[in-house]
Homo-oligomer: A and B are copies of this chain.
Amino acid sequence: MSQAATPLPQFTHAQSLYAEGLALDCGAVVAPLAVAWRGYGRLNAERSNAILICHALTGDQYVAEPHPVTGKPGWWENIVGPGKPIDTDRFYVVCANVLGGCMGSSGPPEEMTDAEGRGQGRPWGTEFPSVTIRDMVRAQKKLMDELGIIRWLAVVGGSMGGMQVLEWAATYPDAVFAAAPIACAAHHSAQNIAFHEVGRAAIHGDPDWKGGRYWEDAGRIPARGLAVARMVAHITYLSEQALTRKFGRRLRGASALTFLEDVFEVESYLRHQGSTFIRRFDANSYLTITRAMDFFDLAAEQGGDLAAVFRGTPTRFFVASFSSDWLFPTSESRALVRALNAAAANVSFVEIASDKGHDAFLLDEPDFHRALGGFLRGAAERVGV
């Protein structure tokens, strides 16, 4: 919690605790506030080379190293690392598990505390307060202060990570030199809210959810509901082209007309996605975080005037979308760019031609990697990093 942290060693990680807690938009206070995070690279003496990465709905802080639960590679290893677009030889890269998450930051699976911060001997569960994207950003600001960083060289993120990037630039404009909101929007659409609602209904409908108190039954979790939630979300992450190319109408095995069997490749794939996900994600966190996304509407406090949110901003922006992304379509990035232009902001925009859908921001898209890397190098040169 010191404001004068020493330069941090490579591969730093910690669960930082802030005794004073965090006051949330809903009025509740979470105290102490826990922020679990990972750092890659080395913070320079001027503390001017720090890049914050904000993760998406089901991401976490394990950006560029194997995941401790699944053992799979970090979720953005193709972008973050030595010599990569987010170059850890040059930049100090930080990623924190979001508030409301389930990888060590304060959230539904963590121990519940009372108003004085005393542990209650059981998880928060559904009694964890409602959080907003801005609450997530405020929690990250605590970590920033602890690290003694005055201004992020850049804040970067895709999907819900991009919502946090926008919220960072809106709430703490002087703390963000460059911002890269990717494959996102300034508000969550009705269709996206509706798909989230299906996922939540699936979790609520699973009797193993037990009104959110599944932690009372050691080992039992609402696995079926969470898997269905993941399945429907996963479809929205892929384009029709990507689904067709990967699975098309190929039948599995010969007995094409067996009732209730795994017949189409796509079904088996989705079932697999659903079942690995439940091992690493908490159902109540899924409810909390999807709700935060659904509430996101950056211009709401300005009566819908998005340009007013960014008027006079010192931040430079890099907005990127993907042509086949139908969850956060290019039209929504264009609306954001129009607002930034109207606010006289420094903004560049690129639509990447890709048939991989929303997931493209996580995948091997060389044009995207080149554009993002170039933007960050330009920002670094500006501040002399």
Question: Which residues on A are within 8 Å of B, measured CB to CB?
Answer: 25-26, 126, 128-130, 132, 187-191, 193-195, 197-198, 200-202, 204-207, 212, 224-225, 227-228, 231-232, 235, 238, 240, 243-244, 246-249, 256-260, 263-264, 266-267, 270-271, 274, 287-288, 291, 294-295, 297, 326
Contacts and interface: CB of A to CB of B under 8 A. Distances in A.
B257 A130 contact: yes
A110 to B, nearest CB: 16
The count of identical subunits is 2
A207 B225 CA distance: 11
Nearest to A296: B249
B260 A126 contact: yes
B190 A266 contact: yes
Contacts of A240: 189-191
21 contacts: A129-B259, A130-B258, A189-B244, A190-B247, A193-B264, A195-B235, A197-B231, A197-B264, A197-B266, A197-B271, A198-B270, A201-B224, A202-B205, A204-B260, A205-B206, A205-B224, A205-B227, A228-B228, A259-B288, A260-B287, A326-B326
Given A187-B249, A190-B249, A194-B235, A228 B243 contact: no
Contacts of A202: 202, 205, 228
Contacts of A326: 326
Nearest to A357: B191
Q: Which of A128, A130, A187, A294 has the most CB of B within 10 A?
A: A130
Nearest to A242: B190
A257 B134 CA distance: 13
